[in-house]
Amino acid sequence: MDAYVHLVPWIIALPLVGFLLNGLFGLAFESYRDRKNLIGAIATSAVFFPFLIALYLFFAMSGDSEAASVSLFTWMQAGDFSVDIAYRLDQLSILMTLVVTGVGALIHLYSVGYMADDEGFWKFFAFMNLFIFAMLNLVLADNMLLLFLGWEGVGLCSYLLIGFWYTDMAKSDAAKKAFLYNRVGDFAFLIAMFLVFQITGSLRFQDILDSAYLFSTDQAFLVGALIFIGATGKSAQIPLFVWLPDAMAGPTSVSALIHAATMVTSGIYVISRLSPLYMMSPELMLIVAVIGALTALVAATIALTRYDIKAVLAYSTVSQLGFMFLALGSGAFVAAMFHVVTHAFFKACLFLGSGSVIHAMHHVEHKLHKTNPDVHFDPQDMRFMGGLRAYLPSTYKTFLIATIAIAGIPPLAGFFSKDEILVMTFNAGAGVYGSIYYVLWAMAMLTAFMTAFYMFRLTFGIFHGSFRLPKLIEGAKDSAKLLHESPWTMTSVLWGLAVLSVIGGFIGIPNFVVATFTGTADVNLLSNWLDKVTLDADLILSKQVEWMLLSGSVLVASLGIFVAYKKYGNQEPVAEDEAVAARFGPLYSLWNKKYLFDEMYEGGIVRPVVRFSDRVLAVFDIRAIDGFVNFIASFVRFFGHLARYLQTGMIQTYAYGMVIGVVLILYLLIIR
């Protein structure tokens, strides 16, 4: 691989160039801001060309290739501590690079149409390129510190883009919320980094993996747990997931890129990167799996109750990320990465499709508002939608394909990856803490059922039945005429992602499926590809059990779709939701209130901290700390003023000063 690794810096550099071009020109020249085609072209090609390079590297590599790294320069050095700006090319990093740049380029293209009317067009694309730059640093970093730089960089870009419409207070609050929750995780990640350096004396991944034997089981648990806490922040797991639904305040293409396809999967990437460390501690693996399964279930139940179409997708993302952590905790790192890839395809497709819907609804609101200023409705609320398939045919078809994919119907992408996770969870039942893994498997099956259910509830609610807006809003009689499909730049991206959602799963066909017919098989491309970089648990289930599990997962998915069709196929969602609510009673209201997580944080942490700060810390701060600081400051300033008297402006004084200096020098050198 050494022959190719020199191309890696170009992958990193191009998005940075795009950011600088659009950012600086946009900042300096107002006329540049209106050249939207140019800005969009620069930004999109700054991501597309790295994708081509990554593709070239991918075909130059094979599953057996040795990892290679390229060091640009020494970043910092102090004593034994030395960190390079260095990038690592191996099977895992190139896989993530392909996802980031490939899906990223598509979403950039989509945004050219989606953001066309926005005043901050140039700023948006500058931030998007900066995000890609940071994300590539994260996945290609050769050491933990550079990874952390990317980690913080994506956090910053996420903050900037969630709060992109920062004049809206709620949106800028959502940005702050995301940033603060991530901060908690980042702190744990930092401590993990200190510990790793203390134990191995290096922050390079190669050194850490080579000297994994230096870790005692307890140390592996501690370091792994801290990194996992970092991952729960960035990848939105219990207890730090509450920021992700709020993060939907940003433009929809941001949600698709950052909060579905790339940034939120970085926690999974880091843990896969350090898989040998995690495999040392079964307790740690169990914790990861439990948190993952719990998050998946909790988020899926909340998603059942949402009307905001982006909120459904947001909770669905949290839930799918939970599946990935469940896979990690079951020792199925390949399955987790597999789900990262397929999820990037279908979830990006879903988000962009919802963006297309919101685009159309927003247009309707805008038009109605012009003729009648009293008309107001939320363009993201599916209660006002229904029957849109007649008006947005491409959006409908692609959305449906991605929904089938996420529901887990073969042979679409989501089926293979989700099935592999379920199989591997069941497989972990044979190991230490086996019985708990069977419980987790059951939870995951339940979640898979719910996933199919709430996703089809969403699709039916938006696209099926009749258009409900004219009935609900006065003065919106003929609003259906105002609906229109998005431009081709947007729909072509939807189709591209839909195709990937269909065929994406074939990179990871389970071996046993083919082996049943041919005896043995080696068709799981992804597993062979990642063989060298991740340390997976062995699959010990028999073919028969695997077939049973596979049929089971198809069955629950179909059941979910069937129930959703019965309930929402052609009916009003509100009435049906009330029927569901009546059946589940208090449980449903718990889901509807999002398990009161926000309220618990508010009541348990935010308000006590604010009160404590207000009554104790603020007083201490003003009286003691400020007092002390001000005392020091005025003390120092006093000496400053005192010294000022020496600076009389009189040349005689100046000469006196020099003479005193000379006498002192001569005293020091001769007399002493």
Partner 1 sequence: MESVNELLTISPIVIIGFAGLFVMMLDAFTGNARWSFYASLFFCLAALAGAVQNVLGPTGTSFYSLVYYGGTASFGAVLVLTGTLFSLCLSKDYLEQTGNHIAEVYSLVLFAAFGMLLLVQANHMIVLFLGIESMSIALYALAGLLRDQKKSVEAALKYFLLGAFSTGFLLYGIALLYGSTGSLALPEIAEASDKGVMYWAGVGLLFTGFFFKVSAVPFHMWTPDVYQGSPTTVTAFMATASKSAAFVAFILVLSRALPDTSQQWQEVLWIFAVFTMVIGNLLALVQENIKRMLAYSSIAHAGYIMVGLAATSGAAYSAVLYYLFAYTLMNVGAFGVVAYYECHKNCDFTEIKNYAGLGFKKPIMGILMSVFLFSMVGIPPFAGFIGKYRVFAAAIDEGLISLVIIGVLASAISVYYYLSVLVYLYMKEDETGMVMKRPSTLYSLALIILALLTIYFGVHPGLLTDFLGSFYSVTW
Three-state SS letters, 555-624: HHHHHHHHHHHHHHCCCCHHHHHHHHHHHHCHHHHHHHCHHHHHHHHHHHHHHHHHHHHHHHHHHHHHHH
Q: How far is the CB of 655 from partner 1 (least distance, A)?
A: 6
Q: How far is the CB of 148 from partner 1 (least distance, A)?
A: 15
CB 512 within 8 A of CB 543: yes
Of residues 59, 64, 78, 370, which one binds partner 1 by CB under 8 A? 78
* Residue number with CB closer to partner 1 (16 or 514): 16
Between the alpha carbon of residue 338 and those of residues 311, 342, 498, the distances in Å are: 25, 6, 17
* Contact call for residue 640 and partner 1 (CB under 8 A): yes
Between the alpha carbon of residue 530 and those of residues 142, 374, 414, 525, the distances in Å are: 17, 58, 19, 9
Q: How far is the CB of 71 from partner 1 (least distance, A)?
A: 11
Q: Which residues contact 496 (CB under 8 A, 6 or more apart)?
A: 106
Beta bridge partners, 71, equal 86
* Contact call for residue 669 and partner 1 (CB under 8 A): yes
Phi, psi of 656, deg, nearest 5: -60, -45
Instruction: Tell me which stretch binds partner 1 (CB under 8 A): 203-211, 284-292, 418-426, 638-646.
Output: 638-646
Contact pattern for partner 1 over residues 54 through 73, marking x by CB under 8 A: -------------------x
Q: How far is the CB of 202 from partner 1 (least distance, A)?
A: 18
CA distance 402 to 414: 9
Instruction: Tell me which stretch binds partner 1 (CB under 8 A): 235-243, 305-313, 518-526, 641-649.
Output: 641-649
* Contact call for residue 653 and partner 1 (CB under 8 A): yes
Instruction: Tell me which stretch binds partner 1 (CB under 8 A): 278-286, 381-389, 569-577, 651-659.
Output: 651-659
CB 339 within 8 A of CB 418: yes
Instruction: Tell me which stretch binds partner 1 (CB under 8 A): 347-355, 556-564, 572-580, 647-655.
Output: 647-655
Of residues 167, 213, 519, 644, which one binds partner 1 by CB under 8 A? 644
* Contact call for residue 411 and partner 1 (CB under 8 A): no
Of residues 74, 198, 570, 630, which one binds partner 1 by CB under 8 A? 74
CA distance 60 to 192: 35
CA distance 84 to 149: 12
Of residues 75, 433, 547, 601, which one binds partner 1 by CB under 8 A? 75
Q: How far is the CB of 667 from partner 1 (least distance, A)?
A: 9
* Residue number with CB closer to partner 1 (30 or 538): 30
Residues shown for the chain: 672
CA distance 251 to 174: 13
Smallest Cα–Cα separation from 10: which of 56, 49, 61, 42? Answer: 49
Contact pattern for partner 1 over residues 584 through 623, marking x by CB under 8 A: ----------------------------------------
CA distance 644 to 414: 75
DSSP annotation of 34 reads G
Q: How far is the CB of 651 from partner 1 (least distance, A)?
A: 5
Rg of the chain over all Cα atoms, to the nearest angstrom: 28
CA-CA-CA-CA torsion for 422, 242, 302, 322, nearest 10 degrees?
A: 0
* Residue number with CB closer to partner 1 (3 or 651): 651
Q: How far is the CB of 669 from partner 1 (least distance, A)?
A: 4
* Residue number with CB closer to partner 1 (29 or 488): 29
* Residue number with CB closer to partner 1 (475 or 661): 661
* Residue number with CB closer to partner 1 (37 or 74): 74
Residues near partner 1 (CB under 8 A), total: 33
* Contact call for residue 629 and partner 1 (CB under 8 A): no
**Residue the block writes with tokens 């009307």:** 307
* Contact call for residue 624 and partner 1 (CB under 8 A): no
* Contact call for residue 625 and partner 1 (CB under 8 A): no
* Contact call for residue 28 and partner 1 (CB under 8 A): yes
* Residue number with CB closer to partner 1 (169 or 643): 643
The H or E element spanning position 73 is strand 68-78
CB 531 within 8 A of CB 63: yes
Could you list the residues that contact partner 1 (CB under 8 A)?
27-28, 73-75, 77-78, 633, 636-637, 639-641, 643-644, 646-647, 649, 651, 653-655, 657-658, 660-662, 664-666, 668-670
